[in-house]
Amino acid sequence: MEKTAARLGIGGAVGSGKTALLEGLIPILLEKGIDVAVVTNDLLTTEDADRLKRKALLPPAKIMAVETGSCPHTAIREDPSMNLLAIEDLEFQFPNLDLILIESGGDNLASTFSYDLVDAYIFVIDVGAGDDIPRKNGPGFVGADLTVINKIDLAPYVGADLEVIRRDTKIYRRGKPAIYTNCKLGTGLDQVVEFISQKVLFQEAETEEVKSQQINSSSVAEQLCQP
C-alpha cells in the first residue's frame, strides 16, 4: 500500500507565533529522523514560505505556499482543495514523507481545521494578547488537539497572569493538552515534538522517563498541561 504522510495543522491568530513554532520544531523533528515538509497559507503573498526558505531549514521544494486569497479559515475548513493539492504535490515529489505541517493564515479564535485536511491540529495563542483569551471559549482554542500557549516570556511586560491562563485553559480545554512555549528560546518545543510523535505519528515514547510518566500519570493530556 502507498505510504501517505501524517498531516498536522497549525492555526491561531495573526502574529501568535505559528511560523516561529515551525522554525523551532523542524530542526528537532529532522534530528529525530522524521521526514517533514511544510505548506504555508497566506492571504495574498508567499511571505511565510519565503521566510522558511530563507532560513534553509528544509530544501525549498519541501516548502509550498498556498495563497488563499480569502478568509484563511475557508482554505483550511470549508474548501481545503488548494491545501489538498499542495499536499498531493509534496507526496508525489517526496513519497517517503512522514509528516506535513500546514500553517493556516492568521485568523481568529473561531478558526478550526477540517479533519478532511489534517489528522490533528494545534492552535497557537499569544500570551501578549492577554490572559483572558482561554476563557473567551473560542472553538479553535477549545477544539484543537493541542493548544500551544506561546510567548510566555511576554507575560510580565503585558500584565498577563500565567496562573489565570493555566486555570482557564484547564477549565475550557477540559483536560485536553496545552503546552507553554517561548519560541524565541525554544522552551516547551520538546514537549510539542513529544505530542507529535505520540499522538500524530503514533511512535512509542522514547525515553524511560517519559515511559514511566505515562504509567504513573492518569493521562498524557494531564502531563502536557503542565508548563
Ligand X SMILES: Nc1nc2c(ncn2[C@@H]2O[C@H](COP(=O)(O)OP(=O)(O)OP(=O)(O)O)[C@@H](O)[C@H]2O)c(=O)[nH]1
Q: Which residues bind ligand X (CB under 6 A)?
A: 12, 14-20, 48, 106, 150-151, 153-154, 182-184
**To the nearest whole angstrom, how small is the minimum distance from the Cβ of residue 206 to Mg ion?**
29
Asked if 220 contacts 146 with a C-beta cutoff of 8 angstroms, the reply is no
Closer by beta carbon to ligand X, 19 or else 191: 19
Q: Which is nearer to Mg ion, 7 or 18 (CB)?
A: 18
Which residue type, as a one-letter code, is found at position 20?
A: A
Nearest position to Mg ion, beta carbon: 19
Which cell goes with 174? 477540559
Minimum CB distance to Mg ion smaller for 37 or for 221: 37
C-alpha cell at 162: 500565567
**What whole-number distance in Å separates Cα of residue 189 and Cα of residue 127?**
16
15 interacts with, out of ligand X, Mg ion, none, CB within 5 to 8 A per kind: ligand X
Beta-carbon contacts of 45 under 8 Å, excluding residues fewer than 6 positions away, are: 67
**Beta carbon nearer to ligand X, 177 or 188:** 188
E strands, 119-222, where? Answer: 120-126, 146-150, 178-180
**52, 23 contact by CB (below 8 A):** yes
Residue 17 touches which of ligand X, Mg ion, none (Cβ within 5-8 Å per kind): ligand X
Q: Considering only residues 46-105, where is the footprint of Mg ion by CB under 5 A? A: 48
Q: How far is the CB of 204 from ligand X (least distance, A)?
A: 29
The site for Mg ion, by CB under 5 A, has a size of 3
Indicate which single residue of 7, 18, 173, 199 sits in contact with Mg ion (rule: CB under 5 A). 18
- Alpha carbon 22 to its chain centroid, in Å, reads 8
Instruction: Using alpha carbons, select from 124, 117, 113 the residue that is nearest to residue 100.
Output: 117
Among 19, 41, 169, 197, binds Mg ion (CB under 5 A): 19
Residues of the shown chain interacting with Mg ion in the complex, contacts defined by CB under 5 A: 18-19, 48
